[in-house]
Structure 1
Amino acid sequence: MTKTQPGEARSTPLPWAETPFPGAVAPSPIPTPLLPPGLLVPFPPALEAEGPVHRATAVGSSVLLPGLDNVAYSNSMHWEFLNGTGPHTILQHDGGAHAPAIHAPYAGRAVFHPSNGSLLLEDVQESDSGTYRVTVNTGDRKSLEIQLEVLQPVSHPQLQTSPLLARASGQVVCEVAEGRVDTITWKKDGQPLPPDRVSQLSSGRSVLYLRPAKKSDCGSYSCNASNRISWQETSVKVAIEGLSRRLKHTLRIALVAVVFAVISAWGLIIPVCQSEKLRIRGELWRWLSSYTCGLVCIACILDGTVGILWMWEEGPSVAVLLLEITLSYLIVVTFLVATTVIFQPTDFNHLKSKKAQRTMGYAAPGAVVTVVLSSTFLIKNIYHRHAAEGCTEFMDVVILVVSTAVVSALPLLAIGLCYHTTQGWHKDHDVPWMDKVRSFEMSQPGNKDTIPS
């Protein structure tokens, strides 16, 4: 699984939720947005409530817990914190304007307001989550319970994608490292995705499945993680590969086969285009013929490999099977021609059968045409497969084609250079020889008085 950098991330705090615990009756206060840590989060004044009121806030913020309405200075008030081990007194106010002593662990970070009975908690932490109860003695005891939930804001989700290939299963994973996550939602190009495509494996991890991946799955995906106080969103661009690794190798091999066939075609054409007097002969002809036929043989082998890989990917095909049989025949013939020319060139003079001579003569040109046509057809099909099923850029094959052409053409260039060097040497030695012949003719008695006009 490879990690993908988020294309976009946004963070927006949510208002605190007003939903009471099941069975509780909650008032309807005005929502107040979450403030940065260290700032006050006021709660609206509470009326007499029949059950606990649920509140949520962020770690590090200050929270004002309201007292009961119609509280006088002379009323006795008692604030306490309730958890699993029992009630823990925060303060006991017996009446009057003087603030009472605040018990540990709230000393130094809690402020009591006798005028309205509210309690300010500063720099709250997750350990402060629980039920706070204020009790007022106004002749008959009245109390209010506030269930406070202190949450860590969710961190930016991290999006990870597996290799996404057309016709194969893939997935995009959204993970949140910090903060309790209540919900994770997905969107594609701004539109919500159906729940049946998403699986939430844990509170902080959700997986989007692409089964199977197809071109329509390309686009921008966003993962939104939220809890009662905040939300974070991260986006990533998803691109589907239209070609498998096997098809990419098939494309590369087909391109090399075409280049080899084209270069060998030049090796076949050059001697034909030369005049009889300037035609390459002797040792250079042997090397040129053997290299050309050998290159054609290699091109046929590569083209046969391309057909096998294509059938492995797409299934058996009658046309490709016939092509494989033809290429097998051409491989054998071109190999025999190449080895015979280089090791036993005189054997060609002993061929009496015109059919054998014709087969030897036309094997290489026929193989060139076969390789070029079949490989070009498969390259075209691979390109259409990529365009129809993927949304990534097509493979950059310029470097491969150029480097293959240069390497395969170097032997031909070397043979051509040797040919021109040899021809120049012969011309340099032909001029003195002609001068000697002319001098000999002029020295004869019948040519002494002959003066060229």
Structure 2
Amino acid sequence: MSHSTRWEYSNGTGSHTILWHDGGSHTPAIHAPYVGRAVFHPSNGSLTLEDVQESDSGIYRVTVSGGDRESLEILLEVLKPVSRPQLWSSSLVAQATGEVVCEVAEGRVDTITWKKDGQPLSPDRGFHTSNSRSILYLRPAKKSDCGSYSCNASNGISWQETSLNITIAGLSRPLKDTLRVAVVAVVFAVISACGLIIPACQSQKLRIRGELWRWLSAYTSGLVCVACILDCTAGILWMREEGPSVAILLPEIILTYFTVLTFLVSSVVIFQPMIFIQLKSKSAQRTMGYAAPGAAVVAVVMASFLIKNIYQRHGEGCAAFVDVTTLVLSTAAVSALPLLTIFLCYHTTQGRQEEPDVCWIDKARAFEMSQPGTVDTTPS
């Protein structure tokens, strides 16, 4: 009696015939996708699969029909070794939500486990696994999250592990920009203060006068004006990240006032210096005279306050602090160059002058004394 043999495949969604052999001597036809990969052995009815793939996993059923009908089901599971996981992280900033991602490109993954500094992480850290990807959430990221993280992916026949050093930045990109702006502002304010202090420390005989004094006054006032503008900008950037604060809003108002005042002083000294000569009000003279020094002090205090707060915020992470050495040196060199030029011109021309120039403040006093009703109180 001849026996017929049928091989079928089922993967849970459907089944189809691989081959059917009626017991004769002819070779049975192999159905796709097993053409060229399946070899049937008529002597014992067995089936050999070559070049197996993960898609070949499923249930194989062989049915032998003769005097009795008998079936046998065989569960076949084909596994491919997992590839080395790829491990990367999002931008990790202190107090913000971050994530570390582990993804396996090849091979079915049964399990993904995490370790930090060689110690297994507890399951309550917020893992999320989807197919061959696992995400470790840091909510929020903090300094204690810094360290070496490893991701281990495995299946029934293999495992692979990858490590990544995680660094939590204390400062976001906007706060780094705030730091740079504040640093430039404090350098400008300090250089302008030097331009105000150095002439004041000189003796009356060696003090800068004439046109050089006018350009020195215009430059120092303009430089401290720019410092105030930069401080205001840094304060706005800080509040965009940290929210409004009275400690920032009040100095912003004061800086705005000094910005306008120093801009007016600088413009008047350059384009209309006679306005100072005709200025009679003592309070107005004091306001104009103390505008640049006051603005420099406020600008330095405001910038120092921002830098201190930014440094404290940096301490919440483990990344290196922003290196501003090059920025400080280049800004100081550029801003101090006009001052050095003015002082160099003064000392170069001082020896060739037969009589000292009369500065525009002296002209103002002369103009005031020339007005009707003015009494000369200078002792004879």
**Which TM-score band (shorter chain)?**
0.7 to 0.9
Aligned to 1:304: 232
* Count of residues in Structure 1 that have an aligned counterpart in Structure 2: 342
Name the SS for the 1:177 alignment partner.
coil
Q: Which residue of 1 aligns with 2:214?
A: 286
Please tell me whether residue 85 in structure 1 is matched to residue 16 in structure 2.
Answer: yes
Change (3 A) 1:339 1:142: closer
Deviation (angstroms), 1:180: 1.5
Correspondent of 2:123 among 172, 184, 194: 194
Give the aligned residue type for 2:329.
V
Match of 1:330 in 2: 258
Whether contact under 8 Å (2:125, 2:136) holds in the other structure is: no
Percentage identity across aligned positions?
A: 67
Find the partner of 1:383 among 278, 288, 311: 311
Q: Which residue type is aligned with residue 369 of structure 1?
A: V
For the residue of structure 2 that corresponds to 1:365, the secondary structure is helix
Any conservation in 1 of the 2:38–2:47 contact (CA below 8 Å)? Answer: no
Larger mean CA deviation between 243-252 and 311-320 belongs to 311-320
2:347 to 403, 420, 434: 420
SS in 2 for 1:85: strand
Deviation at 1:408, TM superposition (A): 0.7
Q: Does residue 175 of structure 2 align to residue 175 of structure 1? A: no
Distance of 2:148 and 2:349 partners within structure 1: 66
The whole-number CA distance in structure 1 between the counterparts of 2:236 and 2:50 is 73
Shift of 1:289: 0.6
Quote the offset at 1:189 in angstroms: 2.4
Q: Does 1:393 align with 2:310?
A: no
Partner of 1:173, secondary structure, is strand
Pair 1:275 & 2:206 matched = no
> Alpha carbons of 1:79 and 1:340: their partners in 2 closer, same or farther (altered >3 Å)?
same
Measured at CA, do residues 418 and 134 of structure 1 come closer, stay the same or move farther in structure 2, by a change above 3 Å? Answer: same
Query: What corresponds to 1:358 in structure 2?
Result: 286
Name the CA distance, whole Å, in 1 between partners of 2:145 and 2:313. 16
Counterpart CA distance in 2 for 1:313 and 1:107 is: 65
Consecutive unaligned residues of structure 2, counting only runs of 5 or more, are 10-14, 64-68, 355-380
Shift of residue 102 of structure 1? Answer: 12
Q: Deviations for 1:428-451, whole angstroms, at most 9, x for unmatched residues?
A: xxxxxxxxxxxxxxxxxxxxxxxx
Taking structure 1 as reference, are residues 251 and 156 closer, same or farther at Cα in structure 2, changes over 3 Å only?
Answer: same
Partner SS state of residue 204, structure 2: coil
1:105-159 CA distances to partner (integer Å, 9 max, x unpaired)?
Answer: 899998x9x9xxx999876544664567899xxxxx9998653322111111222
Alpha-carbon distance between aligned partners in 1 of 2:5 and 2:59, rounded to the nearest angstrom = 11
Shift in Å, 1:172: 2.1
Which position in structure 2 is the counterpart of 1:162?
Answer: 90
Q: Is the 8 A contact 1:257 1:371 kept in 2?
A: yes
Amino acid at match of 2:190: V
Cα distance, 1:120–1:361 mapped onto 2, change above 3 Å? same
Rounded to whole Å, the distance in 2 between the matches of 1:215 and 1:397 is 23
Is the 1:259–1:401 Cα contact (8 Å) retained in structure 2?
yes
Structure number with greater Rg is 1
Paired residues of 1:79 and 1:133 also in contact (CA < 8 A)? no
Instruction: Quote how far apart the aligned CAs of 1:247 are.
Output: 1.5
Q: Could you report, residue by residue, the CA deviation over 1:320-376 in whole angstroms, capped at 9, with x for unpaired residues?
A: 232122222222222222122112223323333322222222221121111112211
Q: 2:150·2:162 contact (CA, 8 Å) conserved in 1?
A: yes
Q: Distance in 2 between matches of 1:79 and 1:166?
A: 67
Query: In the superposition, relative to structure 1, how do residues 270 and 128 fare at CA in structure 2: closer, same or farther (>3 Å)?
Result: closer
Instruction: Give the aligned residue type for 2:286.
Output: R
Taking the aligned partners of 1:107 and 1:314, their CA distance within structure 2 comes to 67
Partner of 2:77, secondary structure, is strand
Tell me the residue number matched to 1:153.
81
Q: 1:406, CA displacement in angstroms?
A: 1.0
Following the alignment from structure 1 to structure 2, what is the Cα–Cα distance between the partners of residues 338 and 196? 59
> Structure 2 counterpart of 1:403, which letter?
S
Secondary structure at the aligned position of 2:159 is classed as: strand
Letter in 2 for 1:340: V
For the aligned residue pairs, the C-alpha RMSD in angstroms reads 3.8
What is the rounded CA distance, in whole Å, between the counterparts of 1:357 and 1:247 in structure 2?
Answer: 39
Aligned in 2, Cα 1:106/1:312: closer, same or farther, shift over 3 Å?
A: closer
Q: What CA distance in whole angstroms lies between the structure 1 residues aligned with 2:60 and 2:182?
A: 76
SS where residue 220 of structure 1 aligns? strand
- Equivalent of 1:236, from 164, 167, 173? 164
Corresponding residue number in structure 1 for 2:372: none
Alignment match, 2:361: none
Question: Is 1:256 the counterpart of 2:184 in the alignment?
Answer: yes
The 3 A distance-change label for structure 1 pair 302 and 129 is: closer
Corresponding letter in the other structure for 2:328? V
